[in-house]
Structures are given as structure tokens and as C-alpha cells.
Amino acid sequence: MKKIERAIVSVFDKSGVVEFVKTLIEEFGIEILSTGGTGMLLNQNKIKFTKISDYTNSPEMFDGRIKTLHPKIEGGILYRRDFKKDVQDAEIYDIAPIDMVVCNLYQFKEAIEKPGLDIKEALELIDIGGPTMIRAAAKNYPDVIVVPSPEYYDKIIDELRKNKGAITERTRLILAHDVFTIMADYNAAIANYLQKYYNPESIFPDTLLKVYEKVQDCRYGENWDQAAAYYRDVSSKYGLHNLKQLGGKQISFNNYLDIDSCIQMLLDFGSAYYVTAILKHTSPNGIAIDKKDLLKSVQMAFSCDPLSSFGGIWGVNKELTTDIADFIINKEKIFVDVLLAPSFEPEALEILKQKQNMRILELSDFLDKKDEIYKNLEIRSTLGGILIQEYDTKPIIKEWNVVSKRKVNETEKEALIFAYKVSKWAKSNSACFAQVYNDGIYTIGIGAGQQSRVHVVKLAAQKAIEFGHKDELKNSLMGTDSFFPFPDGLEAAVEVGAKAIINPGGSMRDELIIKRADELGCALVFCGKRVFRH
């Protein structure tokens, strides 16, 4: 291990740098070189350092655009200490070794989020000297330690103390890797910004640049013999990594997929009512909204399919209270794998923790960030590539066109929209029967993932009957995620009691479907928007 004797310090984020540099000098006798802005801060704190301009005998130029781009700086970082020709060149050109580079970059990503920023201002935020130094230090990590963020200061000081002023090669290598990851993200942000600037109408760029950072290894993937991990998109302000786990086992690969679906369902139903979503394998098996009571919405969502709710993912859009915790813990045959809520009453949380394996996740204000969350595109992997699309966040009703002779009232309209939203979140082909009660709407039968529309309608009805909702099918309201290609799906729904059905329309046989609806006395609404989910 090589002792650190000279360091250059040039930082945009100055948090903690004064204490860090003081320790480098006072405990380890390290000589400090520094640039204008950082040097002013060190000078204000009476910390001894050498100005870069004095060290290089070259002034800062072009309004600070050139400070550290000089052979005495870059050469001092890059020359190989055990390479004879490099050592000779350093002696000839009077280049002293720089053993540590403490440097973080202009916060380009944060700055371009500010409204009204023009291209000239953005260009000035592209750091040149900083990236050059940290890349040089990372390339020459066997001889130079690079410190690219304040988060590393404590670790570096601890290691210097442990090793009498030296840093291990492993730490040098880890930080070198971090630098190139930082630069990949930094360059991606600049490239993406410029691409948006010259082609603002393009949703899908010619080159998609993303950087992902591992959050955790999963115990296994979808199945026991698959390895898996969860990564966060470092350019995204909000993601599943923002959730706070308050109890239970580690989140699994399949949990992440289900949690993602559950949160998106809650986002889609909004905050106007008390909403509960219960799902399994990313498809809902019970959703309810209540205008007054969260517990009632939980109970009604559970009633749709208690069997599938066992081991499911449960999410609510309001604070989870003690009465709900009692219902989950004490009601027979309830087993919740993951429970999500914006917050938990303290007593409710203590009750829930009786189930040691149940994963309890606090959403905090996540459900209030819909616009931020959906700024990114949806990315799905394929063999050798990815598919990209916008998230399906547009209004679920493109047009409200009652095409049947039988009309619908406002209560029925609200229930039809509810049923259509549920069918959106069930895997296609899907169908959902819904029913109205005094203060809310709930699902009574959900069918998902069938290859034909008639069979998914029959499946939804069959599940409703199996779980005690046969009577509620009478005068029920049904949504299905695409058009009826033939009348048989509509006929199957009316046969079990549906009085009104919503779908997007668009079949070449729409006129035949409308005629059949009129013959059966069923209201039929075309909303103009398909909601497939594969």
C-alpha cells in the first residue's frame, strides 16, 4: 500500500469537505491543492492549501472553463509510478505525483430540472475538468485514490487511520469502478438532454441511455432455480426502492412484480375514495372503493375471492388503522404476503407485526407522486433487447358512447368505469363483474388471462358464484378489456345477470353486438379505449 502525500480537492458539492480536508492535513500531513471555489471555502476556514494556478503557473481561463486541464495536474494523476519511462518523463517535465483526487461534478441532472433553463446555461453546467480528473484517477487506480462523492469521506478517513496513511488496492478499485458508473450516468443525462432539445417531439430516442444500480439480491427469481436482483434506475426520482419496509421477510422477485402492480392499481383509482386492492400474480382478485370507510373497502375487496386472497398482496390508499389490522390478523383463513399502505397507526403496526413473515411496506407520499412516477417510459425485456412504451395513464374513458337502447344512470356509469378499471389491471383477456352497495362499489367476480373473451366472462361469473355472489350477479355491471368479436361473450354476461356492459368497441361485428344487446335488454357502452395488459 502506498502512502498518500498529495491530494487535489475540487468539489461542487462542498458538504463535509472542510472537515475531511482538515483531517487529511492534521492527521496525515497530506499536501492539498485546490481550485478557486473550493479554495475560497478552505481559505475561509483557515486551511492551508496551494492554489492550482500557483502550482501550474497557469491562470484559470475562460471564466473558469479551464482550471485543472494542465500536464502538471493530469500528468501527476496519470503517470505510472512503477513504469520507468513515465517516471523519467515526470522528472524531465517537473511533474510531481498527485496521490488522491477529491472531486464531485456539477449537478447537471438536478439543474436541468429547473424551469426556464436555456441551452446556453445548460452547456455551462457540463463539467469538463472534473470528469477528466476523476477518469484519470480511476484509470490509474493502482497509484491514485479517487474520492468522487462526500459519501466516501468517512470510509477513506477510517482506512487511512487503519493503514497509517495508505489506502488498500481493493478500495482504490471499488472507487474507480464507481467513477465510471458515475460518468456513465452523467454522460447519459447530457446526451438525453441534448436529444430532447433538438428533437423535443420524439418520445422514443434513437439511442436509449440508462444506468441502473443494484438495490438488493433477491433470494431467487420467479422460480427457485433462477438467480435474481432488483436494480433502480438512477435517473428516476421515484421507484419501489423509495418504499420503507417496516416488517417481514426480504422482498422477493415475485413480490416486486406484485408490489409494482398493486401500487399502479392504487394510483389509477386515486385518492377521492377509500380504496383496497388485493391481487395475486399481478392480477387483481378483489378491489373495492368506499366513500366513507377504509375497513369496509377492505372487507368488500376480500369478499370477492377469499381463496385467491390467501397469500396475496394487499394495498390500501389511506392510513391503515387498528380495526383493519385486527381484521387481517384475527379473521380466519387470512394470510397476507405483502401489505402496503401510505402509513400505519402505531398500534396497528404492532398488531400486524405478530405475523413475523408478512412484509409490511410504508408508501409514505408515494401515491401523491403520480406525475413524477410516470415520467419514465415502461421498459420490458425480450430476448436480446427491450420493448418500450408509454405507461397507460391516459383517461380510461376516451368517449362515453351508450350504443344500446337501454341507457345507464349516473350510479351505473360510475360502477361501469370502476369495472373497466379493474379489467384493465387483470391480465388480458379479462372481465370484471361489479356491484354497488350503499357507500361504494366492489368486485364480485374477476376473470383474467384467458385466450377467448367468452371463456373469461364465464370464468368471472363462475368465480362470483363459487364465492357466494350468485344473487349479486343479478343486475351487475361488467367491464371487459377489449371488444366482443362475437356476441357469445355478451350473451354469457347477460345470462348470469349483467344489466350493463362496457368495452371499447371497435369490432367489425359491433353492429351485430349492439343488436344482440338490445334483444337481451342489456345496456352497452363503448368507451373507445382498449386496456390490454400482457
Average pLDDT, the chain: 94
Considering the domain boundaries, does residue 382 fall inside one? Answer: no
* Per-residue model confidence (pLDDT) at position 181: 92
Q: 503 forms bridges with which residues in the sheet?
A: 526
29 and 166 inside one domain: yes
- Reported confidence tier of residue 207, pLDDT bands at 50, 70, 90: confident
Catalytic residues: 139, 281
Q: Which residue has the cell 472507487?
A: 175
Domain total in the chain: 3
* Per-residue model confidence (pLDDT) at position 63: 79
| Three-state DSSP class for residue 178 | helix
CA-wise closest residue to 441 among 418, 407, 474: 418
How far is the C-alpha of 294 from the C-alpha of 467, rounded, in Å? 22
The range of the structural domain enclosing residue 285 comes to 241-374
CB neighbours of residue 91 within 10 Å: 9
DSSP 166: B
Considering the domain boundaries, does residue 232 fall inside one? Answer: no
44 and 91 inside one domain: yes
pTM: 0.88
369 and 413 inside one domain: no
- Convert the pLDDT of each residue in 487-520 to its tens digit: 999 999 999 999 999 999 999 999 999 999 999 9
501 and 432 inside one domain: yes
15 and 146 inside one domain: yes
Q: CATH number, domain at 420?
A: 3.40.140.20
- Reported confidence tier of residue 333, pLDDT bands at 50, 70, 90: confident
- pLDDT at residue 127 tops 90: no
189 and 288 inside one domain: no
DSSP string covering 242-255? GSEEEESSPPPHHH
170 and 246 inside one domain: no
How far is the C-alpha of 233 from the C-alpha of 335, rounded, in Å? 32
436 and 364 inside one domain: no
Choose the final residue of a domain: 166, 198, 230.
198
330 and 447 inside one domain: no
Considering the domain boundaries, does residue 145 fall inside one? Answer: yes
Considering the domain boundaries, does residue 150 fall inside one? Answer: yes
Start-to-end CA span in the chain (Å)? 55
Considering the domain boundaries, does residue 119 fall inside one? Answer: yes
How far is the C-alpha of 20 from the C-alpha of 147, rounded, in Å? 11
- Reported confidence tier of residue 405, pLDDT bands at 50, 70, 90: very high
DSSP strand pairing (378-382 vs 359-362)? unpaired
139 and 256 inside one domain: no
Considering the domain boundaries, does residue 387 fall inside one? Answer: no
- What's the half-sphere exposure (Cβ side, CA atoms, 13 Å) at 140? 23
- pLDDT at residue 64 tops 80: no
Considering the domain boundaries, does residue 203 fall inside one? Answer: no
Distance of CA 280 to the CA centre of its chain: 20
b/e burial code for range 208-224 (CB count within 10 A of at least 16 → b): eebbeeeeeebeeeeee
| Three-state DSSP class for residue 164 | coil
| 17: exposed, middle or buried (Cβ count in 10 Å: 0-12, 13-18, 19+) | buried
Judge whether 436 and 460 are in contact, CB under 8 Å. Answer: no
- Reported confidence tier of residue 202, pLDDT bands at 50, 70, 90: confident
Choose the final residue of a domain: 165, 198, 231.
198
What percentage of the chain exceeds 70 in pLDDT? 100
Q: Which amino acid is at 234?
A: V
Q: CATH number, domain at 60?
A: 3.40.50.1380
- Convert the pLDDT of each residue in 240-276 to its tens digit: 999 999 999 999 999 999 999 999 999 999 999 999 9
Considering the domain boundaries, does residue 229 fall inside one? Answer: no
370 and 409 inside one domain: no
DSSP string covering 27-78? HH--EEEE-HHHHHHHHHTT---EEHHHHHT---BTTTTBSS-SIIIIIHHH
CA-wise closest residue to 32 among 112, 127, 115, 103: 103
Report residue 296 as a C-alpha cell: 369496509
254 and 365 inside one domain: yes
- Convert the pLDDT of each residue in 134-159 to its tens digit: 999 999 999 999 999 999 999 999 99
DSSP string covering 350-403? HHHTTSTT-EEEE-TTGGG-HHHHTTSPEEEEETTEEEEE--S-S-S-S--EE-
- pLDDT at residue 200 tops 90: no
More confident residue, 2 or 450: 450
